[in-house]
């Protein structure tokens, strides 16, 4: 969480795409396209959202020319991306148990901002073109919203655990559907509203209200999922005026500036033994996003979204084996229901896209 370091070419799953997650030759996401990043990536996506969300067309030839071999490689890469981001979340939890959250997130964002700057400098027009936006207020708000979401997810990893945090966070694509009407003026059919309702039944199964003492920490991944959903919709909103490279740049720079304000106030000397873990946290972000870009160059983002949910599997394995977490039956059942509801909304979005464009 949080996917997703979320906005890059981060965070993979069902919902609505984020132009920030694209490579230099990105295109603007289609309104009905589902989020290209899963819950998992959100926390990880810019470092999350998981992190970011993006719709990227294959850079090679037209869609129908993409070979099955390319598609299979893209699927394998997407599963690897999910594994890399799962390890990133594990490192976030490990460091979060030893140092203030804002301090750890600040260091990752500094590294991420440097990565963003390098990417922008290599793109056409350089840094000046990447910084030129028609929506500076919304772009800044997006960056601050995402870094706040990443921080809440790291707190949740520490206090609630990786497994339950990700199980609850998988609700974010459903929140995208619920908010796309009031925020973007899009029409949501009764089938997708039904899927949203079913998904929230899954959330209740995970939380078990009335059957166990409710942990206030369980509110963190739910708030984070709401923040990441709003972030995704704001990304689509600014994509009407700004290209993906601009959104990607502002996500890293605005987020780094915002977290530095509170991160420096929480700065703590880091033990020498922990610096390799910190470096690993930063490198998994860059590696994950590089692989994500590569996957999107080989195949359509929409065709890869279902495989992004594999991060929930990786996170569960890591949580159980390394942190001694327990995967309760109600968490498994609830997560399956939420993921199924998310996949249904993704499937409905694909049907609508095909109806709107017969060439798909």
pLDDT of residue 11: 37
Domain boundaries, the chain: 19-356
| Residue 44 CA, distance from chain mean position | 6
DSSP 338: H
Residue 7 pLDDT? 44
Length of the chain (residues):
360
- The one-digit pLDDT tens for each residue of the chain (360 residues) are 433 333 443 333 333 344 333 333 333 344 333 333 333 344 444 333 333 334 333 444 444 544 678 888 888 998 999 999 999 999 999 999 999 999 999 999 999 999 999 989 998 889 999 999 999 999 999 999 999 999 999 999 999 999 999 999 988 888 988 898 888 888 888 888 898 899 999 998 988 875 565 678 899 999 999 999 999 899 989 999 999 889 989 999 999 999 999 999 999 999 999 999 999 999 998 888 888 888 888 887 777 878 888 888 999 999 999 999 988 899 999 999 999 988 988 888 778 777 776 665
Terminal alpha carbon distance of the chain: 32
Which pLDDT score is estimated for 75? Answer: 87
**DSSP symbols for 156-224:** HHHHT-HHHHHHHHTTHHHHHHHHHHHHH-----HHHHHHHHHHHHHHHHHH-BTTBPPPGGGHHHHHH
Name residue, tokens 């964002």. Answer: 109
d(CA 354, CA 344): 15
Torsion over CA: 299, 301, 307, 313 (sign):
positive
Burial class from Cβ neighbours inside 10 Å (0-12, 13-18, 19+) for residue 158 reads: buried
Q: Specify whether the CB–CB gap between 291 and 80 falls below 8 A.
A: yes
Give the pLDDT of residue 358.
Answer: 63
What DSSP state is assigned to residue 21? G
**SS3 (DSSP) at 26:** coil
**Pair 44, 324: CB distance under 8 Å:** no
In this structure, what are the phi and psi dihedrals at residue 209, rounded to the nearest 5 degrees? -60, 135
Q: Taking CA 179 as the corner, what is the angle to CA 176 and CA 184, rounded to the nearest 5 degrees?
A: 105
Q: Which phi-psi region, left, alpha or beta, contains residue 357 (left: φ > 0; alpha: ψ -120 to 50)?
A: beta
């Amino acid at each position: 969480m949080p996917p997703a370091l979320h906005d890059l070419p981060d965070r993979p799953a069902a919902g609505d795409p984020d132009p920030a997650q694209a490579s230099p030759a990105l295109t603007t996401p289609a309104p009905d396209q589902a989020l290209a990043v899963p819950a998992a990536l959100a926390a990880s996506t810019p470092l999350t959202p998981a992190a970011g969300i993006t719709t990227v067309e294959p850079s090679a030839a037209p869609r129908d020319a993409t070979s099955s071999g390319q598609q299979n490689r893209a699927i394998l890469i997407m599963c690897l991306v999910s594994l890399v981001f799962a390890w990133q979340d594990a490192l976030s939890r490990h460091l979060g148990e030893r140092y203030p959250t804002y301090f750890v997130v600040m260091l990752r964002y500094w590294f991420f901002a440097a990565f963003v700057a390098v990417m922008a400098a290599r793109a056409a027009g350089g840094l000046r073109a990447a910084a030129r936006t028609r929506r500076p207020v919304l772009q800044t708000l997006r960056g601050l919203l995402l870094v706040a979401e990443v921080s809440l997810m790291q707190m949740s990893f520490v206090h609630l655990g990786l497994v339950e945090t990700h199980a609850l966070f998988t609700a974010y694509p459903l929140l995208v559907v619920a908010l796309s009407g009031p925020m973007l003026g899009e029409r949501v059919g009764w089938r997708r509203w039904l899927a949203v309702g079913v998904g929230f039944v899954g959330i209740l199964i995970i939380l078990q209200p009335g059957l166990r003492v409710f942990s206030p920490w369980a509110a963190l991944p739910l708030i984070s999922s709401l923040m990441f959903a709003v972030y995704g919709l704001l990304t689509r909103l600014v994509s009407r005026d700004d290209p993906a490279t601009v959104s990607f740049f502002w996500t890293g720079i605005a987020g780094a500036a915002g977290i530095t304000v509170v991160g420096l106030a929480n700065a703590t000397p880091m033990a020498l033994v922990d610096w390799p873990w910190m470096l690993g946290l930063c490198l998994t972000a860059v590696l994950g996003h590089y692989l994500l870009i590569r996957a999107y160059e080989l195949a359509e983002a929409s065709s890869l979204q279902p495989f992004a949910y594999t991060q929930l599997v990786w996170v569960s394995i890591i949580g159980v084996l390394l942190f001694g977490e327990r995967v309760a039956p109600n968490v498994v059942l609830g997560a399956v229901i939420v993921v199924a509801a998310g996949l249904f909304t993704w499937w409905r979005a694909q049907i609508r896209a095909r109806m709107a464009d017969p060439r798909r």
